[in-house]
Amino acid sequence: MAKKNYSVARLKPHSRDDIGKYERHNERKNESYGNMNVDLSRTQMNVSYKNCGDLTYNQYLDKLIEEGKVSLRGLKEDSKVFDELLLDVNSDYFEQHGGYEYAKQFYEDAFHFAEKTFGSQNIISAVMHADEINVAATENYGHPVYHYHLHVVALPVVEKEIRWTKRCKDPALVGTVKEVIQQVSHSKKWKSEKLLDENGNPVYKENGDPVLVKSYSILQDKFFEYMSGAGYEDFVRGERGSTAENLTPLQYKISKDQERLSELEQKIADEQIRYDSNHGVYKTYYEIEHMGKKSLTGKITIPKEDFDALTKLAKEGIGSRSRIMELEDKNARLSQRIWTLQGSVNRLQSQLDELREICQPYLDALKRFPDKVKAFFEELLKPKEKPQEKTEPTSWDGQIPHRKKPKSRGDWER
């Protein structure tokens, strides 16, 4: 049965503090990407459908706030104000339909879906990556196959009515709409919706509560319906309830690598080492089958030399069988150990990649301004000087001089 192609829409919110590392990945601002399978020689083939020019994501957000186009009113400092939408179909789909050129057109239409979802004015960046190689697909097809996908960074904006409060001097205005603002709010943008039946009526549970459909599941439905309506075929909606919907791009790659490692492990188990049980035996199978002579009574007589050879073969066979079982058991344990160590290496590599991205701003600063960075950290890490203890003045003989007791208020009054 042919492998199915799945459309996937995954959404991850970000705060202003953590968006930087995702920006560096999306816009290819890093010099290296470790184990991310990024081929920087192809980065110029990435396609930008929307960008914020020389501004960073945060700077572009500040610009929109200054222009009064969006508002962060009432939000905490660590609130999620950016939404990163990853639109994707597995690599086989594009390989079967024309590769790079087909992917460019597909994701241009997918970008229009993002515009419809967020509003074109609220999209900060939209870039199709064409420089991440799919190792498993490359091995299957026998030539480089790249994982085409679209990263969209947008602001989750909803209209919010600001009403006059009781503090208003005109009682007639209290409770009426004062103004409508474009409020950035991830939680309000992605609220669950009521499940409707065929007639458009809400579906209720036994306890009377309405059945709710998660907003991310609705997003998956809408993406599939939009792309199908745009004329794209040969793929189905991503599996419902799949944890892949909530994985970050990095976690998604790791999960795929783990699946591939599992397949390789199975191949290793299937290709067990074959041992030659005839080691040290000079007789061939043909010679063994034709040893001895058959008498009229059905008995077989063989020379003593051949009998000794058969006895030796039997003993070596029994000993070899035990040795083979030991080696097979050892091989299985070693294979399992290799798999465990490979998993640990992958986890450590993933942590290293994330740490490298976190440290990238420092490394960039160190490369451009080494003296200033060095001076800054030397000053920052310089041990603090202990404050000098105040000492009492002493007289010429080393004794603390007598201090006259100040006059009390009563003394002054008298």
> Are 232 and 344 members of one domain?
no
Cross-strand partners of 300 = 294
> Are 92 and 158 members of one domain?
yes
Residues 198-207: tens digit of each pLDDT: 777 877 877 7
Q: Residue 20 above 50 pLDDT?
A: yes
Task: Categorise residue 200: left if φ over 0, alpha if ψ from -120 to 50, beta otherwise.
Answer: left
> Are 204 and 348 members of one domain?
no
Q: How many domains does the chain have?
A: 2
Q: Residue 287 above 50 pLDDT?
A: yes
CATH number, domain with residue 14: 3.30.930.30
Judge whether 95 and 110 are in contact, CB under 8 Å: no
DSSP of 246-293: G--HHHHHHHHHHHHHHHHHHHHHHSPPP--TTTT----HHHHHT-SE
Nearest Cα neighbor of 103 from 154, 41, 45 is 45
pTM: predicted TM-score of the whole model, two decimal places: 0.57
Task: Categorise residue 364: left if φ over 0, alpha if ψ from -120 to 50, beta otherwise.
Answer: alpha
Q: Stretch 24-30: mean pLDDT, rounded? A: 89
Strands (E), 133-279: 149-154, 157-163, 177-184, 193-194, 212-213, 236-237
Token pair listed for 77: 């400092």
Nearest Cα neighbor of 108 from 22, 156, 50 is 50
Q: Stretch 392-414: mean pLDDT, rounded? A: 50
Strands 236-237 and 293-294: unpaired
Domain containing 282 equals 272-368
pLDDT > 90 in the chain, percent = 23
> Are 229 and 311 members of one domain?
no
φ and ψ of 370, to 5 deg:
-60, -40
Query: Which comes out higher in pLDDT, residue 323 or 97?
Result: 97
φ and ψ of 112, to 5 deg:
-65, -35
How far from 298 is each of 292, 294, 301, CA to CA, in Å? 12, 6, 10
pLDDT band at 65 (very low <50, low <70, confident <90, very high): very high
> Are 84 and 195 members of one domain?
yes
Nearest Cα neighbor of 22 from 103, 96, 83 is 83
> Are 132 and 230 members of one domain?
yes
> Are 240 and 277 members of one domain?
no
